[in-house]
Structure 1
Amino acid sequence: MGDIIKYILDMGAAVFLPIVMILIALGVKMKFKKAVVCGLTLGIAFTGMNVVLGFMFQSISPAATAFVNSTGIKLTTIDVGWAPVAAIAWAWPYALIIFPIQIGINVVMLALGWTNCLNVDMWNVWGKILTATLVAAITGSIVLAFIAAAIQVVLELKNADIVQKSVADLSKIHNITCPHVMNLEGVVLAPISKLLDQIPGVNKINLDSDKLKEKIGIFGENSVMGFIVGVLIAGIGQCSLKVILQTGVEIATALVLFPLVANLFLESLGPIAEAAGDYMKKRYKGREFCIGIDWSVMGGRSELWVTSILLVPVELILAIVLAKFGINSVLPLAAIINVAATVPALIITGGNIFKMFIMGVITTPIYLIVSSEFAPVLTNLAEVQHTLTIPQGQLLTYYGIEGPEFRWILTHAANVINGEFWGIGLLICFMGLFFWYVKFMKKKDIQMELKEQKD
């Protein structure tokens, strides 16, 4: 049975999630033809998003590598991205047990009214497995690994409720949300947003894509912004004129294609989410339900990609600076388009590029330091499991590790078994900040509602 489940999951989100969504659509009495079309469209949307994201990475990667090489700094830890790290997580002997843990917690919390999110994004269960794998490797305790995964499941579902209105507003799809661990970054970003709102002048700057177009005309168009940013990054990498211009056109292409692909999520998820919401409301009067799905539903927001690309030179410069201080060994590469940082910033700010960029600058060192610390553990796991082959003298990691603060705190809190009592203190502080974050987001939702009524 475990082999069958793993086989299906190995097909990837583009195959697995459409199957799940078709079954849900049929379960809520949607017509067979419409359910199948919506499900296939979702698969196409995921595939399209990954194709464009991969294309953009291939455009930026040579310039990024050239820039780092020109500094003469040697970074010994290679950022391999999420896929190889997911393979390491799946190789954990107890990986499939996380499935009933996630499903069981979700069912119980729905029944008790502790969440309104039905998380169908089972493919991303690997995020919980990764946390459990790290805890097991660091503490040597399988029980603590399961407890850590369960804590993550609970917080993801609670956070899914918290960000639901923002996700729906950004994606333009009602009755959906995003129960992804990356969005727990909001707990850290909310205080930063609050602080920025207290700074005179800074609190008046609100640059989303529409306002950019109003203020700077043609330079606010996705194609022109993409070209300019691509040219700047390739220029920083000291590339040839030919490569600089090619990079500019390729990044412009990606920024134009992202919103087109994102429309497919609207076409596929919109009808299913509406049908599921109506179905649940009939059976549980007075309750509002939503479907939990991957972050890609917000991929049509150009603010997400403009900020991610603008942060590329920042990531490279900070990687070099922190390496000189001995607290970073990572060369950001496979995850250099760090959506794990920009998606939660998009949710917190509502798409304010200026604030998103500042948040990215502040949190980039966290991603570098945490991914550096996890590198020896992940490398050892890959070697023991024979998952990946690592060149002698090098380490591997995942620079864009989602929710780095949460994962780092949780693993150290679990390591109380080995005497790291301070980790428990940090976890208590994180939970205290989480409750403040809940109030922050509720206030944000009220402001959104007042704005909608005014408009």
Structure 2
Amino acid sequence: MGVIQYILDLGPSVMLPIVIFILALCLKEKPGKALRSGIMIGIGFIGISLIVGLMLDNLGPAAKDMAERFGVHMAAVDVGWPGSSPMAWASQIGGVAILIAIGVNVLMLVLGLTRVVNVDIWNIWHMAFTGAMVQVASGSFIWGMVGVAVHAAFIYKLGDWLAPVTKKYFELEGIAVPHGTAAYLAPFAIPFEWAFNRIPGVKKININAEKIESRLGVIGEPMIVGAVLGLAIGFLAGYDAKVALQLGMQMAAVMVLMPKMVKCIMEGLLPVAGAARKILEKKFKGKEFYIGLDPALLLGDTQVVAASLIFVPLTIVLAMIVPGNQVLPFGDLATIGFFVAMATGIHGGNLFRTLISGSFIMGITLWISSQTIGWHTQMAEQANALSKGVTQVASLDQGGSPITYILAQLLTLKNVTGLLVIGGLYVFCVICTFIYYKQQTRKALTVVNSEEKVSS
């Protein structure tokens, strides 16, 4: 356990390069190329961490000031993933979560139940969190381990089903994102996409950063959009012109720098991913495999970053109007892009559609996280993570996860109505996601067959 904890303490910017370096050597890459790939990926994640830190340090307080200015007072504060992940690792389940998640991945690969080869060990904290909350809710360590296994198996399947979006929209060849909010909230967007494509008039509306830029010229460039949104958030928070302008420039920097950091990760990853896929596909008779990685890769898309900034004030508004909400959004606001990233891809970068489906996603996330406050607070107490004077905590990331909520409620039945509503809705959306995956796969196959006929 001490060795595992030591590795985890290194953080993703060190741990993932080590994993990639070892994996590259196993894939018969030259040591020099393997080392370069690992270090380049580490550089990318350090860059992303710095940018996320910039957002947390500046956008987070602005969002909190905005909430206080408009009189939003809730029973629990959202501690975000920076607060939730240490609770997950500090739990009893945290010590065995990595072994369970890797074991499930290997078993599913052997049985042909998934094509995702997960190398993102750090983000197993999401699975650990589910297990920890299930243990708190049920009082059983065994059920906690089952919670980790079920979350892992389900999220790997989501990685398979969402791979067409990752490939087609985000242009990440051979990559899957079987982690966190980006994956488990994506199913909610599928029925919206189906409806949008069938509503006359609405199906023709398409708003994205490229169209804004083409119509407005320089004013529509991503960095200008980021500056304007940052400035608007600053003024809504009640900042004076000086601080608001600084926030605007910081958000402009985010819009420009985030995609560049993602490019660093992809530069280091693509050679390894390509080698892995070739070996696996050869060994398993042409089957396609995906390398499972951090959803931070999705933040390299301009539409995702734009949606992220729009949803900062919008989520605070939703917190005021969602019935029964008791959570004050804060810790996860700066990284809200994770919540709507895959939805943005499903909608083809259409910000109009993302705005609508994303509002539903954030609304239901708030509702779920309000119902898990009690269990979340118990986890914080066990991890000695309650700050002085704080009596209740919550989080949007994982605390608002439908997977975690459904598993915990199934074992306790404390809120049968909530379980039936959220469980029924989520199962419906997951079925829609599977159908969507099948449709996208058939379309891709049709395109390939057409191209082969033309070339022959």
CA separation of 1:73 and 1:438: change in aligned 2, threshold 3 A? closer
Q: Secondary structure at the match of 1:268?
A: helix
- Bigger shift: 439-448 or 198-207? 439-448
The yes-or-no answer on 1:380 pairing with 2:378 is: yes
1:396 alignment partner in structure 2: 393
Residues 164 and 177 in structure 1, CA contact (< 8 A), matched pair in contact too: yes
Residue in 2 that maps onto 1:236: 236
**Equivalent residue number for residue 314 of structure 1:** 314
1:422/1:413 CA distance change after superposition, 3 Å: farther
CA deviations 1:85-137 (Å, max 9, x no partner) are: 11111122232222222122211211121111111111111111100111111
- CA shift, 1:328, in A, is 2.1
Name the residue aligned to 1:202: 202
Alignment of 1:126-275 (within 5 A): 126-182=125-181, 183-275=183-275
Tell me what 1:434 maps to. Answer: 430
Please report the TM-score for the alignment, with normalisation by the length of structure 2: 0.91
SS at match of 2:333: coil
- The residue type paired with residue 415 of structure 1 is T
Mapped to 1, the partners of 2:411 and 2:22 lie a distance apart of 37
SS of residue matched to 2:157: helix
1:432 positional shift: 4.7
Q: Which residue of 2 aligns with 1:113?
A: 112
Q: Does the 8 Å CA contact 1:178/1:295 hold for their aligned counterparts? A: yes
Please give the alpha-carbon distance, in whole angstroms, between the structure 1 residues aligned to 2:293 and 2:415: 38
Please identify, of 57-66 and 444-453, the stretch whose mean Cα deviation from structure 2 is larger. Answer: 444-453
In structure 2, relative to structure 1, the CA distance for the partners of 1:451 and 1:59 (3 Å cut) is: farther
Residue 73 of structure 1 deviates from its aligned partner by 3.7
Q: 1:334 to 1:428 in 2, by over 3 A?
A: closer
Q: Which residue type is aligned with residue 314 of structure 1?
A: L
Shift of 1:424: 7.5
> What aligned pairs does 1:401-412 form with structure 2 within 5 A after superposition?
401=398, 404-412=401-409
**What residue in structure 1 maps to residue 22 of structure 2?**
23
> Does the C-alpha gap of structure 1 residues 425 and 315 become closer, same or farther in structure 2, counting only changes over 3 Å?
closer
Indicate if the aligned counterparts of 1:168 and 1:174 stay in contact, CA closer than 8 A: yes
C-alpha RMSD of the superposition: 2.4
- Give the whole-Å Cα distance in 1 for the aligned partners of 2:234 and 2:422: 40
2:286 paired residue number? 286
Query: 1 CA distance for matches of 2:301 and 2:435?
Result: 26
Q: Is 1:348 the equivalent of 2:346? A: yes
Q: Which amino acid aligns with 2:348?
A: G
Report SS of the residue matched to 1:369. Answer: helix
Matches within 5 A, 1:64-143: 64-143=63-142
- The share of aligned pairs that are identical, in percent, is 29
Q: Counterpart in 2 of 1:443?
A: 439
Q: How far did residue 75 of structure 1 move?
A: 2.5
In structure 1, give the amino acid aligned to 2:167. A
Residues 45-64 of structure 1 mapped to structure 2, 5 A cutoff: 45-64=44-63
TM-score (norm 1): 0.91
CA distance in 1, matches of 2:411, 2:19: 33
Given that 1:413 and 1:421 are in contact with CA atoms closer than 8 Å, whether structure 2 keeps it comes out as no
Does the 8 Å CA contact 2:92/2:132 hold for their aligned counterparts?
Answer: no
Question: What is the CA-CA distance between 1:198 and the residue it aligns to?
Answer: 2.4
Alignment counterpart, residue 327 of structure 2, candidates 317, 323, 330: 330
Q: Which moved more, 1:188-197 or 1:63-72?
A: 63-72
Amino acid at match of 1:378: H
Contact 1:80 1:396 in 2 (8 A): yes
> For residues 87 and 152 of structure 1, what CA distance do their matches in structure 2 show?
18
Contact 1:413 1:424 in 2 (8 A): no
Residue matched to 2:454: none
**Code of the aligned partner of 1:436:** C
Whether contact under 8 Å (2:72, 2:328) holds in the other structure is: no
Deviations 1:245-296 (A, max 9, x none): 2221111111011111111022011111011111212222121112111112
Cα distance in 2 for residues equivalent to 1:210 and 1:301: 11
Verify the 8 A CA contact 1:116 1:288 in the aligned structure 2: yes
Amino acid at match of 1:319: A
Any conservation in 2 of the 1:339–1:400 contact (CA below 8 Å)?
no
Structure 2 unaligned segments of length 5 or more: list them.
Answer: 452-456
- Map of 1:298 onto structure 2: 298
* CA distance in 2: counterparts of 1:385 and 1:67, whole angstroms: 30
Residue 393 of structure 2: SS of its match in structure 1? strand
Distance 2:415 2:78 in 1: 30
**Count of matched residue positions in the alignment of Structure 1 and Structure 2:** 448
Judged with a 3 Å threshold, the aligned counterparts in structure 2 of structure 1 residues 330 and 435 are, in CA distance, closer, same or farther, namely closer
Matched letter for residue 348 of structure 1? I
> Residues 125-155 of structure 1, C-alpha deviation per residue, up to 9 Å, x if partnerless?
1111100111111111222222222111111
3-state DSSP of counterpart to 2:199: coil
Q: Displacement of 1:164 after TM fit?
A: 1.4
Q: Distance in 2 between matches of 1:76 and 1:370?
A: 14
Inter-partner Cα distance in structure 1 for 2:421 and 2:69: 42
Distance 2:422 2:81 in 1: 26
* CA–CA distance in structure 2, aligned partners of residues 306 and 129 of structure 1: 31
